[in-house]
Every structure is written in structure tokens, then in C-alpha cells.
A and B are shown apart, each in its own frame.
Chain A
Amino acid sequence: MARINALLLLIVLACAVGVVAAQHNWRKLYMELEREQERMRQLEVEWGQLQLEASTWSARGRIEKVARERLGMKPPEPGQILVVEPGARN
């Protein structure tokens, strides 16, 4: 009887230690998950800012200004445009 009790006690102790270890491990993993989620949010913010930056750089008004002033471009005259018909390939 005493032997069985001792054995059960050991098993209980082992389980208790296991539970503590599992809980600790779980918390560690959970914190990692939290960190990654935080990083995800920050990257989303950055993505939004980059989108905004890209659309600011590509604003039509700015492109037209750069094309006209810095690159010396102008819209083609009607006579300078040649329409290539899909069937007219050689």
C-alpha cells in the first residue's frame, strides 16, 4: 500500500512539474506570437505610409511638371501619332 502511494505521489509530482513547464513554454510562445503580431501591425503601418509616399511621388501634376520642365517633353501633336491596327502587322 505504502509503495503504491509513493509511486502515485511521484507521478503526481511529475505531472505538476510538467504542467508548470508546459504553462511556461506556452507563455513564452504566446509572447513571441504577440511580438510578431505587433511587428505585423507596424509593417502594415509602414505599408500604408509607403503607399501614400508612392502616390505622392506619382501625382499627375508632379509627373507633368517634371516631364515638361526637367525632361523637356510635350504631348505629341495629332499628326505625330501613328495608330497601328492589330491586323496590320507585317
Chain B
Amino acid sequence: MKFAHSPLLSQLVPGWRGRFVLLLLLAGFAALIARSAFLQTINHDYLQQEGESRYSRVVELSATRGRIVDRHGEILAISTPVKSVFAMLRGVSLTPAQTRELARVLGMDVRELTQKLSAERGFVFVKRQIPPDVADRVAAMNLPGIHQQAEYRRYYPVGDVASHVVGFTGTEDIGQEGMELAFDRQLAGKPGSRRVIQDRLGRIVEDVESIRAPVDGRDVVLSIDNRLQYLAHAALKQAIAEHRAKAGGVVVLDVQTGEILALANLPGYNPNSRVKLAGAQLRNRAFTDTFEPGSTLKPFTIAMALDKGRFRSETVVDTRPGRLTIGNATISDAHPHGLLTVAQVIQKSSNVGAAKIAATLAAQEMWQTFDAVGFGTAPRLGFPGEVGGRLRPYRTWKPIEQATMSYGHGISVSLIQLARAYLVFARDGDLPQLSLARLDAAPDEGRRVFSERTAREVRAMLEMAVLPGGTAPKAQIPGYRVAGKTGTSHKLEGGVYADRYVSSFVGFAPVSAPRLIVAVMIDEPSAGQHYGGAVAAPVFAQLMAGALRAQGIAPDAPLKPVQVAGLQEVREGD
């Protein structure tokens, strides 16, 4: 039977039913349109966001902090990734066995761990900065509520040897001291981020956009030579223990370039474990502490007099009777010396001689020279806390002050300033800038302070000071000609000179063509000796001998080989 002939069709259907169905359908459509309009317009942003959050992620891209290396590329500071374990306490429910196991893996006390996990707060660091292999073991335990976070930790392989130069960073990887602070902008990396699409399993399947590219920090190459730094630190440590001194500092400079090759201070600290750090340990004394240099300043007075042509090195100065009264103050020598040549004033370190020579100079001339060699002005190496020392304006100088300044009292300098000033004698009278960063080429000639002839003459006098008859025969180094000057000064305490001393020695070698300057300062030696020639000069000799050998600088003084047996082997191997 065909459909058209179905008897059911002949029955009439009431007209309202058709209209009712049509109405229902229209109402359905209207509802759909309204709903889609709502979703597409009013609710659109929210839904779009929700959808994206299902597959789109923003991934943080970490950037590493630059390394600090010495002039030969040896690492002084490096960042390495570590993990920190933290607990979201609401989700933590560990069995006692799991807690014990976690404590064992982390190397923690079980009670300490239990205490941390029972804290009230929602979030607690269980242990910060653990090595990646330990972190992997913790992750493998798959404990509920225990999470990890990637961080960087800064390591200092040489430890306390270079701590004052390198400095350190805080937990947030920001420089806090030393070069870490001075070069923070160069060292710091900028973390980046990018948006990606992930699949069901969390794998990244598509890179949508790079929001910010990460920028790794740049390395900083210091002028420090790790070998000399180690020698300097070791020599200073030994001297401080031997003389039971309160503190000390050593600086090694490259004469040709003005680079700082080594800089050590004691007391120091280990930058890798900075618990119980006191301000005294943190201070980079060579930069931040000033002292009255004492006799180490006499060569400058002499050089001024030579430069003005008023004296020659063989001009005789009468230092009898070893005392000199100016106004109502008296200057005296440790031993009366009688008639001395200008060269002998340096050699014997006569205060009276220096004061008499200074009396022929105008205050302004002296001030200008002290200013020209950098006293009273911070060296501006970018080091935090640099000081300039005290050099009062010449208009306020009284005659007695000018006299005491000629032998280094009534003026204060930092060790780095003193070391730098000696560059004028080690070089031929000019003074270059210092550098804590490695220089690729020797800098241009610095500011000229003395004539070449004056510098050479003072050099010869300084060599006499370490020869027999001088104040520092203990500064001698077999095989090399050295030159230098001792300094011993009383410490000022509350405006009065106390019975405590600062012993210093500044010298350079080899005299025939100076290459290195070593400045030593020992604060409050208290084992009996306090003269610069007895305390600081041996440190100079020990360090300079090691440094000359490490630098491969040829001896310039005749020295008979003790063992000639090795000669044949050398020839054969050549």
C-alpha cells in the first residue's frame, strides 16, 4: 500500500497542532540564537580564556648569572641550578615511614622535618638549594604535597682566598658585596618567558609566541691572577698568625698596565657558607680603611725636592741631633743619624731629614703632588665603599703639619692608594689608572707627576733601603734586585697616638725593569715586633719571590747556582 493511500491521512488533524509544533520549533530556535548571542558577545572573553587555559601555557625561561673569572679564565664564581623543596601543607599527609625516608634523603633531622611539616602556614620551605641528584630522588618518592622549585646557587671555588674581591650574592641572586655588587648589571641575567600549546600529556606541541627572550648574564673577567692571589692570601695569613696581628692587607699591581693582580685582606670569610658574618670580616680593608702611611710617604717628599731642583741625591742634610723642634712640637728620629745625604734620608728613614727637606717646599707644591698621586681622592674603580683618605687643603696647613706630612703623619691613605702612588717610581714618573678588569692592551701613559730622571733617582734610593745599612734588608730576594720603603706608624685613637702600630712596606721588582708592585699592611702586630722592616718586609719578600717566579720574570741580579748537576739535563732537554 502506498503512503498516499494510507487511511490515516484521510482523518483530519486539528489545525492548531501544526501551528503549535511550528511555534515550539521557533521558540527553540529563538532560545538557541539568544544563547549563542550571549556566549559570543557577553561571555566571550571569559570562555576564550578558559579554553586557552586548557592547552596554552606560559613557560618561564630562566637566565643564568654570568661567571666571574680571573685573567686566565679560572673560575672565581659560577652559578649552578639547584632545587628547593617546599611543602603545601594542606596537601601533605605523610606516613611516619615516608617522613623518615624524606629526612634521610635530605640529610635532615627527623624531628626538625616533622616540626616544619606541622607548621600552621600553608607554605613552608623544607630545604633550600639542594643538588639536582638529591632533588631527583625526592621527586621519585612522589610524595603528596611536596613540591620543588628551580633556583640558582652561586659557588665560589676558591673560597676565602679571593672573597673580598669577588664578594657574594644573596639568596635572590643579587650582588651584595665586591665585584658581584659592582658589576651586578653586567652579571645579572634577565629571565624570559614564552607561550606554548601543550597536548593532553603536557608535552609542548607548538610555540605560540616568545613573550620575552631570556638574556644570560655576561661573564666578568677580572685583572686578578689566581696564582698571585693565592700566594698573597697565604703569605698574609702566615704573617698575621706569626705576629698576632689584628688585620692586614696585601695588594699586587702590574707596573706596565696598572692592573690589580692580587688583593687580599684578613680577617676574611668563606663566601660559600656565610653564617655568622661580622662587619669586620666583610670589609675590604685595602679599599675601605685608611691609615697614616708613615715613612712610606718619604720618597714622595724627596722626589718633590729633587724635581724642583733644590736637592740632588748626594746633597747633605744635617739631621743632628736627631731632633727638630717646630713651634712647640718636636720631631725625632729613632736613632740620631748625624749628616746624611738625601739618598741616606730614605735609606735610614730619617724623620728629621724628611722634615728639613719638606721645609724648603711650599705647602701648595706638596699638596699638588699628593693630590696628583691620588691621595685624598677615591680611586673610583667601581668598588663599593671606596674611600679617598684624608688630605686637608694646603691653606690650613701649619708648619708642623707640613713637617709631619713629609714622613706620612697627619695624612691618611688606603692601601690601594699607596700601592698605586708607587707606580710613579716603578714607572718613569707617570701614574696610570688602576683597573680591576683585565685589560687587553697596556693603557696610554698616565698623568706625569715627576720627571723621568727623578723617578730613576728615587728608584736607586729605594733600592738602597733594602740593601745592608737600610731599614728593610729582610725585603731582599735572592736573584732579583728589589726596591721599597718601610713604614711604621702609631695608630690614632680618639685623636691621640696610641701604643699600637701599623706596619707597612711598599716595593717593586725587578729594579732594572720594574714589573710588579707589592704593598703590605699589617695592622697591630702584637708579638713583640712592630717595625715595618721586621713585620711587613718579610711578607713582601715571600710574596714577591713567588710572584716573580709565577710570572716567569727573569732574575736581574747575579746568583750562583747551588746545584750545577741539573745543568746537563736542562741542556739535553732544550
| B75 within 8 A of partner (CB) | yes
The residues of A that contact B80 with a CB separation of less than 8 Å are 45, 48-49, 52
A82 and B205 form a contact (CB under 8 A): no
A56 and B157 form a contact (CB under 8 A): yes
B230 and A51 form a contact (CB under 8 A): no
B205 and A30 form a contact (CB under 8 A): yes
Q: Mark B154-169, 1 if CB is under 8 A from A, else 0.
A: 0101110100000000
| A3 within 8 A of partner (CB) | no
The number of chain A residues touching the other chain, given as a range, is: 20 to 34
B574 and A82 form a contact (CB under 8 A): no
A82/B567 contact (C-beta < 8 A), A31-B203, A60-B226, A77-B562 known: yes
Contact of B561 among A56, A75, A79 (CB under 8 A): A79
A90 and B571 form a contact (CB under 8 A): yes
B555 and A79 form a contact (CB under 8 A): no
A59–B574 CA distance with the chains assembled, in angstroms = 31
The residues of B that contact A56 with a CB separation of less than 8 Å are 157
A30–B203 CA distance with the chains assembled, in angstroms = 10
A48 and B161 form a contact (CB under 8 A): no
A52–B545 CA distance with the chains assembled, in angstroms = 30
Chain B nearest CB from A43 CB (Å) reads: 12
| B74 within 8 A of partner (CB) | yes
Contact of A84 among B203, B227, B574 (CB under 8 A): B574
The residues of B that contact A27 with a CB separation of less than 8 Å are 199, 205-206
A78 and B230 form a contact (CB under 8 A): no
Query: Who on chain A is nearest to B160 by CB?
Result: A61
A60 and B230 form a contact (CB under 8 A): yes
Contact of A83 among B75, B155, B555 (CB under 8 A): B555
The residues of B that contact A64 with a CB separation of less than 8 Å are 230, 234
| A55 within 8 A of partner (CB) | yes
Q: Mark B30-67, 1 if CB is under 8 A from A, else 0.
A: 00000000000000000000000000000000001000
The residues of A that contact B144 with a CB separation of less than 8 Å are none
A79/B566 contact (C-beta < 8 A), A34-B203, A60-B227, A60-B230 known: no
| B79 within 8 A of partner (CB) | yes
A79/B563 contact (C-beta < 8 A), A49-B80, A59-B158 known: yes
A58–B161 CA distance with the chains assembled, in angstroms = 14
The residues of A that contact B571 with a CB separation of less than 8 Å are 90
Contact of A55 among B74, B81, B555, B561 (CB under 8 A): B74
B207 and A80 form a contact (CB under 8 A): no
Q: Total contacts A to B, CB within 8 angstroms?
A: 82
| A74 within 8 A of partner (CB) | no
Query: Who on chain A is nearest to B62 by CB?
Result: A41
Chain B nearest CB from A67 CB (Å) reads: 13
A79/B206 contact (C-beta < 8 A), A45-B132, A51-B75, A52-B80 known: no
Contact of B478 among A75, A78, A85 (CB under 8 A): A78
B561 and A80 form a contact (CB under 8 A): yes
Chain A nearest CB from B132 CB (Å) reads: 7
The residues of A that contact B275 with a CB separation of less than 8 Å are none
The residues of B that contact A49 with a CB separation of less than 8 Å are 80
Contact of B566 among A34, A45, A80 (CB under 8 A): A80
Query: Who on chain A is nearest to B203 by CB?
Result: A31
Chain B nearest CB from A56 CB (Å) reads: 5
A55–B80 CA distance with the chains assembled, in angstroms = 13
The residues of B that contact A34 with a CB separation of less than 8 Å are 203-204
A90–B571 CA distance with the chains assembled, in angstroms = 8
| B329 within 8 A of partner (CB) | no
Q: Mark B534-574, 1 if CB is under 8 A from A, else 0.
A: 00000000000110010000110001111100110011001
Query: Who on chain A is nearest to B557 by CB?
Result: A78
A83–B80 CA distance with the chains assembled, in angstroms = 43
Listed in ascending order, the chain B residues whose CB lies under 8 Å from chain A are 64, 74-75, 78-81, 132, 155, 157-159, 161, 199, 203-207, 226-227, 230, 234, 477-479, 545-546, 549, 554-555, 559-563, 566-567, 570-571, 574
Contacts A34-B203, A48-B64, A59-B158 given; 19 further ones with Cβ under 8 A? A27-B199, A31-B203, A34-B204, A45-B80, A51-B78, A52-B75, A52-B78, A52-B155, A55-B157, A55-B158, A78-B477, A78-B479, A79-B559, A79-B561, A80-B563, A81-B555, A82-B566, A82-B567, A90-B571
A-B contact pairs, 27 of them (CB 8 A): A27-B199, A27-B206, A31-B203, A31-B204, A45-B132, A48-B78, A48-B80, A49-B80, A51-B75, A51-B78, A52-B75, A52-B80, A52-B155, A56-B157, A60-B226, A60-B230, A61-B234, A75-B546, A78-B477, A78-B479, A78-B559, A79-B559, A79-B560, A79-B561, A79-B563, A84-B570, A84-B574
Listed in ascending order, the chain A residues whose CB lies under 8 Å from chain B are 27, 30-31, 34, 45, 48-49, 51-52, 55-56, 58-61, 64, 75, 77-85, 89-90
Query: What are the nearest 7 A-B pairs in CB distance?
Result: A79-B562, A78-B478, A60-B230, A55-B157, A55-B75, A27-B205, A48-B80
